[in-house]
Structure 1
Amino acid sequence: MTDSLIFETTKDEKVRGYGRSRMYGSIAWGVGSVVGGIMIDRYGLESVFSFTFFFCGCTILGLMWFKYSKNAGEKKTEGGENNNNNNKNKANNGVRHIVNEIKKLLILNEEIRAFCICITLNGFVMTLADSLLPLQIEALNGTRQFSGLTTLVSILGGIPVFYHSKAIYLRYGPWWMIRVGSLILSIRLLILATCVFDESQLKYILVVQLFHGITFALIWTGSTENLQRAVKNCDLTSSIQTLINTLYFTVGQGIGNVFWGHVYEHYERANEGYFLGAVVILINIWMFRDDAKFDKERSARKKDKVGSGGTSRDLVNIV
């Protein structure tokens, strides 16, 4: 829900974009992982629940200080009065309308279909390290604090990409971001598969985790910007963003958690799983190698606009 709200409030920004706002959530995730790891090491697993409830309460108290309008979201008539009847009718038919429109997009829009498959496979593989890395660290006698530190390091690697994501998107396009992020992910998994076998090699995990932040930032912001460009109906952007969250985190990572868990139990270590994940993501890149045409079409439209005397603002709108 929060991710969709961020997307909705930043989709019209031409410079800051989605990535710079999303960056702060990642920073909080990394810091919270370190603090959570320290608390588990010192006070046991039960302390995490108190930690979570405390900060959720702080969040609620903080939100109470924000100003809001009681009429937020309601359309106004020319006389300034709330058009309650239209709002009620829209609410009654809204869900059905959105579902039907999303179905049409998936049926008629080739890029959206390819994108949905690609993001699901990325979620399936991305959860590999998230699921197996803590188990691997524990098997190599690493602490919970070290496990949290690896998460923080991965977040630090993604901050520059999140911050400059809009500029990267405008320069290279969304599919380029997704492909490069996927390639870095495969390299990361291959390094984990071949370089980490005993306790003395735990330090390599910290270095490799820098790749995770870069990977996630490129894939996620590229996916979001791709969605923003491909969906012409502005009323559907938040709903499609929710769909992408579902495909990546629920479908892809949900299936991935079960599958990679079985792989770990079968081989009794994570290295074989990392290697298999790298193969899957490379196949994913190969499957969608022809989708560079979407980036080429975007560049062609940009050149045509320049040739016809378009302004820099026109170029941003085209992208």
Structure 2
Amino acid sequence: LALLGHGNEKHFGKIRLWGAVGWGVGCSAGGVVVTYLGRAAAFYGFAIFIYIALVVMLTLPLKQAFAVKDELNMPLVTEGNEEEQSRQAMSMTTKLATLLRQPSFAVFLGVMVVVGMGATTLQSLLLIFLKDLGAPDWLEGTALTVATVAELPVFHYSSNIIGWEKMGAPGLLVVSIIAFIVRANLVALLQNPYWVLPLQLFHGFTYAGSYAAGVYLAKQSAPPGLEVTAQALFSFCYIGVGGLLGSSIGGVLFDEFGAPNMFRVKSALNFFALVVLCALHVPTRRTVRKWLCV
């Protein structure tokens, strides 16, 4: 967002959609590589492309983009200066405390953990469920491709959705959570694995919508100078904590109660998160009130 410049944050989705393109191309190309050259070749290819990405990243004007004033006016740390290092460490602690003391932001992070749990479940454990239903390998790959394609229009038009007064980032997040609830319950009803393909179209909102809205809300919710820290916390909660809990808890539920019940539990958790978001997250509450007054 810093590279996009002030006032252009809502256009994040138009940049992020190329990550979805890379994911889709990588899945297709990776399947061919593994089939004809073996699994080891895929890892070598990964290393090569990561190196290329690193080289490209080093050409970006990162210093200019992140040259923001330290909101706590802490001096720079110099090697061997333990006192300054201690003060700088306190600075980070203060940053986190400042953000987490805001009730709406704390609620937002908690909700994103739950949303991240659901997103992980429908990314990884879904394929195991399809295999149990007798899905061929090509169907699993096609399901991932459909999900990736579904992300593209949502990422591309997320700036328009966020800029729409009646929707905004809070509205996009609400719609994304509702889409997950619907998708998870429909997946739980699957008996024929081929019906997963139209359901994968929901992925555009359940992942791309929630991600784009989350990035924007994290930026907008942060006090001046704490935007980067807020976005780091969002990513940590959504992808890190949510991903870890989604895989671990989801795996236990899958083994103990079966995939359909696992999806229903995740749906119920997201419904609870949606209620909490609408009740306690101030920007979302305002958006929902606008909808109810129309």
Shorter chain as denominator, the TM-score bin is 0.7 to 0.9
Is 1:46–2:35 an aligned residue pair?
Answer: no
Is 1:177–2:166 an aligned residue pair?
Answer: no
The CA distance in 2 between the partners of 1:230 and 1:257, in whole Å, is 28
Taking only aligned residues, the RMSD between alpha carbons, in angstroms, comes to 3.1
Structure 1 match to 2:268: 279
Is 1:239–2:229 an aligned residue pair?
Answer: yes
Structure 1 match to 2:23: 29
Structure 2 match to 1:166: 159
- Equivalent runs, 1:179-218 vs 2, <5 Å: 179-194=174-189, 196-197=190-191, 201-218=192-209
Is 1:19–2:9 an aligned residue pair?
Answer: no
Contact persistence 2:277–2:285 (CA under 8 A): no
The CA distance in 2 between the partners of 1:102 and 1:21, in whole Å, is 27
The CA distance in 2 between the partners of 1:298 and 1:42, in whole Å, is 52
Structure 2 match to 1:259: 249
The CA distance in 2 between the partners of 1:71 and 1:131, in whole Å, is 38
Structure 2 match to 1:306: none
Change (3 A) 1:282 1:11: farther
Deviation at 1:141, TM superposition (A): 3.9
The CA distance in 2 between the partners of 1:55 and 1:173, in whole Å, is 35
Contact persistence 1:33–1:149 (CA under 8 A): no
Contact persistence 1:161–1:214 (CA under 8 A): yes
- Equivalent runs, 1:92-171 vs 2, <5 Å: 92=85, 93-107=87-101, 109-171=102-164
Gaps of 5+ in 1: 1-6, 76-84, 301-319
Deviation at 1:216, TM superposition (A): 1.3
Change (3 A) 1:154 1:230: same
Contact persistence 1:188–1:208 (CA under 8 A): yes
Structure 2 match to 1:78: none
1:115-163: per-residue Cα shift (whole Å, max 9, x none)?
Answer: 0111011111221112211212333343444323322211211211211
The CA distance in 1 between the partners of 2:57 and 2:222, in whole Å, is 31
Structure 1 match to 2:71: none
What secondary structure is seen at the aligned counterpart in 2 of 1:288? helix
The CA distance in 1 between the partners of 2:64 and 2:10, in whole Å, is 28
The CA distance in 2 between the partners of 1:170 and 1:150, in whole Å, is 31
Deviation at 1:261, TM superposition (A): 0.7
The CA distance in 2 between the partners of 1:225 and 1:181, in whole Å, is 14
Greater gyration radius: 1
The CA distance in 1 between the partners of 2:171 and 2:10, in whole Å, is 20
Paired AA for residue 49 in structure 1: F
What secondary structure is seen at the aligned counterpart in 2 of 1:10? coil
1:198-250: per-residue Cα shift (whole Å, max 9, x none)?
Answer: xxx222112111111222122111111112221122x2211211111111111
Contact persistence 2:117–2:246 (CA under 8 A): yes
Gaps of 5+ in 2: 69-73, 290-294
Deviation at 1:11, TM superposition (A): 5.0
Contact persistence 2:104–2:282 (CA under 8 A): no
Structure 1 match to 2:292: none
Deviation at 1:34, TM superposition (A): 2.3
Is 1:288–2:283 an aligned residue pair?
Answer: no
Structure 2 match to 1:249: 239
What secondary structure is seen at the aligned counterpart in 2 of 1:219? helix
Aligned residue-pair number: 278
Contact persistence 1:35–1:148 (CA under 8 A): no
What secondary structure is seen at the aligned counterpart in 2 of 1:275? helix
Paired AA for residue 105 in structure 2: I
The CA distance in 2 between the partners of 1:103 and 1:275, in whole Å, is 35
Contact persistence 2:172–2:210 (CA under 8 A): yes
